[in-house]
Amino acid sequence: MPRLKTLGPVVLGCAWLAAGCRPAPTGPPAASAPEWFSNITASSGLTFLHRAGTNYFMPDQVGSGVALFDYDNDGRLDVYFVQNGGAGSDARNQLFHQEENGTFKNVSADSGLDVSGRGMGAIAGDVNNDGRADVVVTEYGATRLFQNLGGGKFREVTRAAGLDNPRWAATASFVDYDRDGWLDLVAANYLDYDPTHVCHDVQGQQDFCAPQAFSPTATRLWRNATAQAGGEPRFTDRSEASGVFRVPGVALGLVCADFDGDGWPDIFCADDGRPNRLFINRRNGTFTEEAAQRGLAFNAMGATAANMGTAFADVDGDGMGDVFVTHLTDEYHSLYKQGPRGVFLDQVGASGLQQQGWRGTGFGTVLADFNSDGAPDLVSANGLVRRLLKNQTPVAAGVHPWWARYAQRSQLFVNQGGGKFRDLSLEQPALCGEAMVARSLAVGDLDNDGAQDLLLCAVGGPARVLRNVAPQRGHWLKVRLLLPQHGGRDAIGAEAVVHAGGKKHWAVLQPATSYLASNDPTLHFGLGTAANVDSIEILWPDGGKETFNGGATDKLMVLKKGDGK
């Protein structure tokens, strides 16, 4: 034994030399600190398996998404998953209702939402001001509107509503761009795909085509022309008149919010392999594209990159929204910090986000304060678009073997304050431990415990429900913003500033961010040690401002326009 002890290091050293001094291959993350998420997929009842083809048809690798919304107004979030099996396929979109005990029940049958198609994303919003959230589904070749009839029933009204978009629509968003109290609709179309075009990688193997192989397409904007509250939804095409068609793009990410501080919502498109576009609202029904001069078109080095998922939140606590855009494994993500108002600068280099345990191709992304310390953290849902020689393992159970070649592990970065992030992925087995072809990522408080949970969707694999179990969470406040004048619907586009503990916490109500997703329409504010809220300022979508009294934290506040001061 003493001999072994003595020779041990020498033998080990020899073995290390013989192995070529290479570091150990990256294995699954090992939790050395408390996890922030627990995988509750099995117990939740949210069993959804995404289906996608395996013949390099490009729409297969782009979708599909998920919407979190409360379709029956029972105060609990329901879930709508989008499938990608094609028209006539038995792979149909699925609607899950959250029961009183917090589990989910599949209520797709006869809901009217159990449709099939080349599904991409889904967004929820009340388009006819009847107080019930309707649903828009984007597809390869269509943008479909489903009116919520109540009682868990939906009816497709696409054609009757005047919506016609034969293009490949990836991402969509509701926005009241003319501030008339009715939700308008933006569909930022993806590329002009040629399904007969076959692509190979440099090494000669067939693989998915890159977006650069195809032309960009025009973004579409429809103005809501519904006659009266509760009436049949009607839209008129304003793509041409508004000017948004003038600068075509290849959008995968979309954020409709006020980017220049004038109180009117603008349209930001994250374009895949092309400069991003920012359509600034001229307040007269038209838009001008200003991404380049406002610092949002290119990355920190002035280059074009594969822009995909988007998140919009105040990462550094300066009261202004910052934009995060995900990119490919061999590119850097972008963190466009706003300041002064209306101009942005990609400061990813100084943010700590480039120091990562592993690199990923990010799609869905959210900036949410998971530990409620007052600074939004970052999650990137990862999955490749072209095969790597050495894939990440282990691959999550249920991922189709063909798609496993594109699997990657997702990532979590904790915001340490001031927009400085640290990679926490190694300590997160449930979220980051297994590789998936992750795409859509939605955030919301599924169990109404005041902590932000996650729903992760993947191509050719099962969705994953991740309950927030972050330790030592701070105080929090949830704020629901409603417009009683407009059927009591969510005030999409409203901005809120919560004053607590000497700090200001800013957020905008825009559920349609991340990637092909619709998030919880209730705002969540992490407040750290602040046990009381001083006040809440709301800038409503019509430009009106109100202040509401604060009070104790750790609760949901429902604020209605007209009730404030």
Partner 1 sequence: MKRQKSSGAKAHKLTGKKSSRRSPVRALVGILAVGICLGLGFWILKFRAQPTPPVVALGLLDPALRSLIETSRVAVVRAPESGAAWGRLGETLQAAEFFPEARLCYSNAAVRDPQNFRWPYLSGVLEQVGDPALAVRHLTRATELAAGRTDSPRYQLARTLVEQGQFDQAEPHLKLLLASNPGHAAARVELARVHLARGAFKEATLALQPALTNQYTMRSSLLLGAQIAQRNGQPDIAAQLARRASSLPRSFDWPDPVLHDVQALRTDRARLAEQANRLLQQQKFPEAGAVVQKMLDAAPNDPEGLLLWGRLNYLQRRCPEAEATYRQLLRFQPDSLNALVQLGLALMCQEQWTNAAVTLERALALKPDFAQAHGNLGLARSKSGDTAGAIRAFRDALRNTPGDLAAHLNLAEELANAGLLEEAEQHVAHAAALNPKDPRVIQARTQLGVK
Structure tokens at 206: 């067939």
Q: Residue written as tokens 């895949």?
A: 272
Give the nearer residue to partner 1 in terms of CB position, either 56 or 503.
56
Reduced to 3 states, what is the DSSP secondary structure of residue 13?
A: helix
Cα 259 to Cα 6, 283, 321, distances in angstroms: 66, 13, 8
Q: Which stretch binds partner 1 (CB under 8 A): 76-84, 189-197, 436-444, 522-530?
A: 189-197
Q: How many helices (H) and strands (E) does the chain have?
A: 8, 39
Please pick, from the candidates 1, 30, 202, 397, the single residue that binds partner 1 as defined by CB under 8 A.
Answer: 202
Please pick, from the candidates 12, 160, 227, 350, the single residue that binds partner 1 as defined by CB under 8 A.
Answer: 350
Upper half-sphere CA count for residue 181 (Cβ side, 13 Å): 15
Q: Which stretch binds partner 1 (CB under 8 A): 32-40, 162-170, 174-182, 547-555?
A: 162-170
Contact 24, 159 (CB under 8 A): no
Scan residues 256-315 and list those touching partner 1 (CB under 8 A).
288, 290, 292-295, 297-298, 300-302
Question: Smallest Cα–Cα separation from 351: which of 296, 306, 414?
Answer: 414
Scan residues 363-422 and list those touching partner 1 (CB under 8 A).
389-390
Give the nearest distance from C-beta 203 to partner 1 in angstroms: 5
Give the nearer residue to partner 1 in terms of CB position, either 153 or 420.
420
Which residues have a Cβ under 8 Å from the Cβ of 549 and sit 6 or more positions away?
535, 536
Q: Distance (Å, rounded) from C-alpha 494 to C-alpha 274?
A: 30
Q: Distance (Å, rounded) from C-alpha 135 to C-alpha 518?
A: 10
User: What backbone torsions phi and psi does residue 410 show, to the nearest 5 degrees?
Assistant: -80, 175
Give the nearest distance from C-beta 78 to partner 1 in angstroms: 32
Rule CB under 8 A: say whether 173 interacts with partner 1: no
Compute the 3-state secondary structure of the chain and give helix, strand, coil in percent, each to the nearest 5.
10, 40, 50
Q: Which stretch binds partner 1 (CB under 8 A): 340-348, 374-382, 422-430, 492-500?
A: 340-348
Q: With left for phi above 0 and alpha for psi between -120 and 50, is residue 325 left, alpha or beta?
A: beta
Q: How many residues bind partner 1 (CB under 8 A)?
A: 63
Q: Which stretch binds partner 1 (CB under 8 A): 37-45, 106-114, 197-205, 481-489?
A: 197-205
Q: Per-residue x/- marks for partner 1, 48-67, CB under 8 A?
A: --------------------
Rule CB under 8 A: say whether 12 interacts with partner 1: no
Rule CB under 8 A: say whether 32 interacts with partner 1: no
Rule CB under 8 A: say whether 159 interacts with partner 1: no
Q: Distance (Å, rounded) from C-alpha 264 to C-alpha 274?
A: 26
End-to-end CA distance of the chain: 81
Q: Residue written as tokens 């007969």?
A: 196
Give the nearest distance from C-beta 192 to partner 1 in angstroms: 7
Q: Which stretch binds partner 1 (CB under 8 A): 1-9, 73-81, 453-461, 518-526?
A: 1-9
Give the nearer residue to partner 1 in terms of CB position, either 237 or 554.
237
Please pick, from the candidates 163, 218, 395, 426, the single residue that binds partner 1 as defined by CB under 8 A.
Answer: 218
Please pick, from the candidates 146, 264, 332, 421, the single residue that binds partner 1 as defined by CB under 8 A.
Answer: 332
Q: Which stretch binds partner 1 (CB under 8 A): 27-35, 36-44, 345-353, 457-465?
A: 345-353
Give the nearest distance from C-beta 300 to partner 1 in angstroms: 6
Q: Nearest 10 degrees: CA dihedral of 40, 42, 43, 46?
A: 90
Q: Kindly give the pairing relationship between strand 142-150 and strand 153-156.
A: antiparallel
Give the nearest distance from C-beta 260 to partner 1 in angstroms: 10
Give the nearer residue to partner 1 in terms of CB position, either 42 or 303.
303
Scan residues 411-470 and list those touching partner 1 (CB under 8 A).
none
Angle, vertex CA 462, rays to CA 460 and CA 466, nearest 5: 135
Reduced to 3 states, what is the DSSP secondary structure of residue 320?
A: coil
Please pick, from the candidates 23, 151, 204, 471, the single residue that binds partner 1 as defined by CB under 8 A.
Answer: 204
Q: Per-residue x/- marks for partner 1, 119-158, CB under 8 A?
A: ----------------------x-----------------
Rule CB under 8 A: say whether 25 interacts with partner 1: no
Q: Letter for the amino acid at 180?
A: D
Please pick, from the candidates 55, 196, 228, 284, the single residue that binds partner 1 as defined by CB under 8 A.
Answer: 196
Give the nearer residue to partner 1 in terms of CB position, either 110 or 201.
201
Q: Distance (Å, rounded) from C-alpha 315 to C-alpha 337?
A: 8
Sign of CA dihedral 110, 70, 311, 253: positive
Rule CB under 8 A: say whether 92 interacts with partner 1: no
Q: With left for phi above 0 and alpha for psi between -120 and 50, is residue 220 left, alpha or beta?
A: beta
Rule CB under 8 A: say whether 347 interacts with partner 1: yes
Give the nearer residue to partner 1 in terms of CB position, either 118 or 489.
118
Q: Which stretch binds partner 1 (CB under 8 A): 56-64, 75-83, 329-337, 541-549?
A: 329-337
Whole-angstrom Cα Rg for the chain: 23
Give the nearer residue to partner 1 in terms of CB position, either 109 or 301.
301
Question: Smallest Cα–Cα separation from 465: which of 6, 46, 62, 172?
Answer: 46
Structure tokens at 562: 């007209």
Upper half-sphere CA count for residue 332 (Cβ side, 13 Å): 19
Burial letters 317-352, b for 16+ CB under 10 A, else e: bbebbbbbbbbbbebbbbbbbbeeebbbebbbeebb
Q: Which stretch binds partner 1 (CB under 8 A): 115-123, 127-135, 161-169, 470-478?
A: 161-169
Could you list the residues that contact partner 1 (CB under 8 A)?
Answer: 2-3, 6-7, 10-11, 14, 17-18, 20, 141, 164, 166-168, 192-197, 200-205, 217-218, 220, 237, 239-241, 245-246, 288, 290, 292-295, 297-298, 300-302, 330-332, 340, 342-343, 345, 347-351, 354, 359, 389-390
